[in-house]
């Protein structure tokens, strides 16, 4: 049959079709071929749209979750929350968006744990952290741009792993775990402030701080792998 759908429509159709198969076959060639057959897309066209087959659809699934989370964050009024609670809300919204596809997420976690796909997995998590910070209005342009996203990537990744094994009512244990992880980060920030407020230690750190001040955020927010942590804006 002639294919009149555009590339995005075909990819969306393939993604919808593959999800039930992923539960049983993972993000595998078998699941991809089943999705192709069910959507009546020519295999050559499907391979052109998704050169890596199910892997590309797994990344599309992750991106879809990010987009849904951003839409919800922009719709909700978070002005009454402390900034650290806005961050926690972003992570919570992200997981709630895929709550009905928990096994699909589990299969994706296993996929991107493979050595040859670990970079793709790290980029996907970084993208989620970037989406949260951007949606919450982060305007940092220096090293903090990297450190905020690196730390939130760690928080998000560990929370996903906890969530996958959590069978508590309403995932209450996951949200408690998330709060503890964010509290851990805020303790780091507390120590950082104490160092900066100490005359002797602040002089000692003058050189490293000057060097870090020269690092600028990229013109386009693309994944990177700088380590670090975030700082809460003043008066929040």
By three-state DSSP, how is residue 221 classified? Answer: coil
Residues 90/69, Cβ–Cβ less than 8 Å: yes
Residue 173, in any domain of the structure: yes
Report d(CA 29, CA 57) in Å as an integer. Answer: 11
Domain count, the chain: 2
Cβ-based burial of 131 (10 A; exposed 0-12, middle 13-18, buried ≥19): buried
Report d(CA 146, CA 224) in Å as an integer. Answer: 8
Same domain, 86 and 189: yes
Report d(CA 146, CA 132) in Å as an integer. Answer: 13
Structural domain for 161, as ranges: 52-213
The predicted-structure confidence for 168-192, as pLDDT tens digits, reads as follows 999 999 999 999 999 887 765 554 5
**How far out from the chain centre does Cα 96 lie?**
13
Report d(CA 199, CA 179) in Å as an integer. Answer: 32
CB atoms within 10 A of CB 31: 24
Same domain, 31 and 126: no
pTM of the shown model: 0.82
Same domain, 1 and 37: yes
Same domain, 75 and 185: yes
Report d(CA 97, CA 86) in Å as an integer. Answer: 16
Q: Of the given ranges (71-80, 96-105, 211-220), which has the lowest mean pLDDT?
A: 211-220
The predicted-structure confidence for 113-158, as pLDDT tens digits, reads as follows 999 999 999 999 999 999 999 999 988 877 788 888 888 999 999 9
Among residues 17, 24, 22, 20, the alpha carbon closest in space to that of 39 is found at 17
The predicted-structure confidence for 3-50, as pLDDT tens digits, reads as follows 678 999 999 999 999 999 999 999 999 999 999 999 999 999 999 999
* The predicted structure's pLDDT at residue 193: 53
Residue 226, in any domain of the structure: no
Report d(CA 46, CA 69) in Å as an integer. Answer: 27
Q: What Å distances lie between residue 168 and 16, 93, 193, 212, CA to CA?
A: 28, 17, 36, 42
Same domain, 140 and 186: yes
Same domain, 1 and 76: no
Same domain, 18 and 124: no
CATH (domain of 204): 1.10.357
Q: What is the mean pLDDT of the chain?
A: 84
* The predicted structure's pLDDT at residue 79: 92
The predicted-structure confidence for 187-216, as pLDDT tens digits, reads as follows 655 545 554 555 653 454 444 444 445 556
Residue 137, in any domain of the structure: yes
Same domain, 94 and 5: no
């Amino acid at each position: 049959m002639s294919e009149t759908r555009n590339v995005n429509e075909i990819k969306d159709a393939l993604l919808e079709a593959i999800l039930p198969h992923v539960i049983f076959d993972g993000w595998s060639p078998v699941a991809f071929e089943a999705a192709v057959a069910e959507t009546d897309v020519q295999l050559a066209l499907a391979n052109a749209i998704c050169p890596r087959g199910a892997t590309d659809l797994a990344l599309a699934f992750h991106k879809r979750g990010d987009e849904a989370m951003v839409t919800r964050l922009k719709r909700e009024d978070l002005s009454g929350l402390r900034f650290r609670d806005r961050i926690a809300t972003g992570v919570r919204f992200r997981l709630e968006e895929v709550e009905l596809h928990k096994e699909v997420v589990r299969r994706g976690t296993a996929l991107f744990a493979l050595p040859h796909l670990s970079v793709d997995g790290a980029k996907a998590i970084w993208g989620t952290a970037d989406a949260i910070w951007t949606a919450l209005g982060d305007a940092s342009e220096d090293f903090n741009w990297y450190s905020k996203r690196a730390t939130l990537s760690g928080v998000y990744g560990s929370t996903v792993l906890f969530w996958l094994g959590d069978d508590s009512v309403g995932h209450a244990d996951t949200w408690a775990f998330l709060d503890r992880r964010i509290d851990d980060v805020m303790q780091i920030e507390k120590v950082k402030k104490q160092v900066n407020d100490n005359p002797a230690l602040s002089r000692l750190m003058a050189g490293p701080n000057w060097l870090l001040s020269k690092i600028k955020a990229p013109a386009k927010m693309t994944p990177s792998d700088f380590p670090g942590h975030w700082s809460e804006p003043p008066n929040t």
